Structure 1
């Protein structure tokens, strides 16, 4: 390791999610800044002392300070210190060299050093370390996987590929694991799957791909939303490796790409083929795909997908049922919503307040007066009453739909069960009775409302006054008495 890294601010500004198929135990996620030993509470005492020295002593004086500490450079100490020194690469290199004077570094420590240098974009020093590792005979696949990741994070895809190309010169086999590790590192970066595909097309003649190879590419196309490329990759996968339930991550990625790309019809066709091959994906795919279709308000495709899911023996939960019922209600497909409600019980998913109120709201919106009255009774029987907003809307609809008794029953239920706030529902009840000319009942309910200290709106009183005054003197007197009570209320 001849090159000396320079002190520099190496904060990484991008977020990094490790690939699903990473073979690298040394991948370090790209945080806003590298964590220090001060931010890691479970550091053991001796490595903590060493980290403290590295953070406070100038780099030229580190070797003297470390020697004076009297702490032996045990391999486990070296590893712990390196893990926490990514933010101080120059000090880490000095420490590593000092430790190497009295102890033989473990392969793990060497790999940590390579990863630390790479993540800090100190590539010349990283290659110095690689050459030293070759001399020591401690190079491994993990070392190169770390280098792939460091180059790709630094947006140096060509350099990562070059690193793969020289692996064999360092005694590391260029096999499908190495190919997949490089593809993972490339696809992990934004909008680089085309670069990964170019490498794949070149290398597949020499090194046959496996199912993981295709899964990595398909996950890249999924992230980028490239439906056409995903179809091509999937087709080649089926030809080369065939069908197998073990390839589920690839299937998930491909199908999700289709659904997100507004090709749900295609996804459903592929699902039917996969069902015949005993390769249907699991609940994770169906749950994610249904979420996408629900956001797109695609009820017909969501129902088709649901039927395949349930038909394959997967059991949906209450959250999934509510999401589907909500979609169907928003699409005014009330018969289908009732079908799902009836099916819930067979799958052990019992409806809750949200389930019932979505359907009740749909019935109200579509002015299904008789169905809404019957469904209200079912809601009460199952102890899931309507929400306050649904009560207001239902009372208004029942009056307009010539079922005032249902409106009165609903309001009485609200009073008896203390569903609040009740003011708006009460005013709707009074206006409904006023519109029907049922002034005697209106006065009785108004008196009850005042007794219960329910707020009768001024606008409601104006409408009542107009109705009472049209009925003659005695009705006017009745209104005057009501108004007097109202003003004193």
Structure 2
């Protein structure tokens, strides 16, 4: 590779100070992006911070003198770091780059950063000047053009991006599938532009055959846009063109996710069966995302077969996924499957937590499963998982209504012993339950205990106690009057 002599450097200087180079900042471009700067990086070296401050602070005409006054030697790593943090001041960055060239030959990476910096600021004429200079030095690569594709696409100038691809060979870079994929990715990164990428691929595929990554990029684009029909077309073309490949997981993930998001989960399940036979099952990421979608749709009918395919493919769901599917089946009152998942999760290394137990406990309470509630309460507390205060209150109320006061009282005592708060709702449920059963001596004892602990008894509860006690007789009435005095003075 030729060395960069002073004449070459001066040639670069002339180019970068041509009339095409006007002070432009990202804030004034269509992109209006906030580029990372030195103020966003707390642990920069003093030299990098000093140079970045000069580029951001000093006027363009003063930059070179300010840089000279620092005495800093612009070594390649330092230059690259400064350029990465100077996208917000492109004209000063050009001055800096020229100043660097007077002392050292910039690295290929620094040149590519310069091209990217200019492109991202929509300074396309000086960007092409830099590319022509890189060509003279033999520094161009596909990565350089990938940057140009991205800059044009971000600016919405897709025709220029296609033109760039078409002139690559004139700059000594043969367009290949890597370049194709770079352009496809740049197009699909923009909103609702996957159709442009698909059209480009149709035109180019006869001369540059696409690979698995080409189709994966398009399928991810269709996923983002939710275009099920186009995703199916692209997937079918991919299978014909590149066949089945277990390594092409991102394409399978994107395609199946598009189907699930498009309410075509039955179709997704059919494709999953075919993929499994081809040893091309998607990864855990797809199943996790699909499960989230089905949970939001409250669709347990499709979630369960999807889950079985996942487990049958040898994938091990994590605790978050188990909690999601248990929450889904519990919301559909499917107690049998809730226990099934609880029993199997430990075999996949996912151990139930308090959230797991409380979802099932709530489902049992809601469905008035008295015996199961009693047994499950014992099991979850044995595993050191506390029931939530709301579940305790609901369980106490249900158990009194369903003639299991002993378990209800046991839950109350557990709440006191383990300081489960807040406790007011459970206290009121306990007192009302005892009152309904006519257990007035216990009602007196527990009510006094509640008041001793300064737990709030609601006015509604006191009204119910009064009605029951006054109907019961004098002893119960006197007991209530004593409680009422304590309650009003509390």
Q: Same fold (TM over 0.5)?
A: yes
Q: Give unpaired runs (5+ residues) of structure 1.
A: 15-29
SS of the equivalent of 1:356 reads: helix
CA contact (8 A) 1:79 1:109 kept: yes
* Counterpart position of 1:11: 27
1:193/1:379 Cα in 2 relative to 1: closer, same or farther (>3 Å)? same
Distance 1:473 1:50 in 2: 91
Alignment-derived partner of residue 339 in structure 1: 340
Seen in structure 2, the aligned counterparts of structure 1 residues 60 and 242 have a Cα distance that, compared at 3 Å, is same
Higher mean Cα deviation, 285-294 or 196-205? 285-294
Change in 2 beyond 3 A, CA 1:186/1:385: same
Residue 118 of structure 1 corresponds to: 119
Aligned partner of residue 270 in structure 2, secondary structure: helix
Partner of 1:237: 238
**1:28-86 CA distance string (max 9 Å, x none):** xx884333445445555555554444445433354555556666665555444433332
Structure 2, unpaired ranges of 5+: 1-14
Alpha-carbon separation, structure 2, partners of 1:481 and 1:42: 69
Query: Over aligned residues, Cα RMSD in angstroms?
Result: 2.6
Structure with larger RCO (C-alpha < 8 A, sep 6+): 1
Tell me the SS of whatever aligns to 2:27. Answer: coil
Once the two structures are superposed, the pairs formed by residues 47-62 of structure 1 within 5 Å of their partners are 48-62=49-63
| Aligned residue in 1 for 2:295 | 294
Name the CA shift for 1:334/1:80 in 2 (closer, same or farther; >3 Å). Answer: closer
Q: Which residue of 1 is the match for residue 442 of structure 2?
A: 441
For residue 207 of structure 1, what is the aligned residue in structure 2? 208
Provide closer, same or farther for how the CA distance between residues 444 and 239 of structure 1 changes in structure 2, counting only shifts above 3 A: same
Q: Note if contact 1:183-1:216 (Cα within 8 Å) is conserved in structure 2.
A: yes
Equivalent residues, number: 474
- Following the alignment from structure 2 to structure 1, what is the Cα–Cα distance between the partners of residues 399 and 370? 6
TM-score (norm 1): 0.89
Per-residue deviation, residues 226-254 of structure 1 (Å, max 9, x unmatched):
11111111111111111111111111111
Whether contact under 8 Å (1:35, 1:84) holds in the other structure is yes
Name the CA distance, whole Å, in 2 between partners of 1:445 and 1:76: 75
Are 1:468 and 2:484 an aligned pair?
Answer: no
CA deviation vs aligned residue, 1:385-439 (integer Å, no higher than 9, x gap): 3221111111111122232333233223333444333332222222222223333
Structure 2 match to 1:276: 277
* Native 8 Å contact 1:3 1:125 kept in 2: no
- CA distance in 1 between counterparts of 2:328 and 2:28 reads 42
Partner of 1:24: none
1:179 corresponds to 2:195: no
Give distance in 1, aligned partners of 2:140 and 2:305. 52
CA distance change for structure 1 residues 111 and 412 in 2, over 3 Å: closer, same or farther? closer
Q: What is the rounded CA distance, in whole Å, between the counterparts of 2:475 and 2:57 in structure 1? A: 96
Counterpart in 2 of 1:194? 195
Is 1:354–2:355 an aligned residue pair? yes
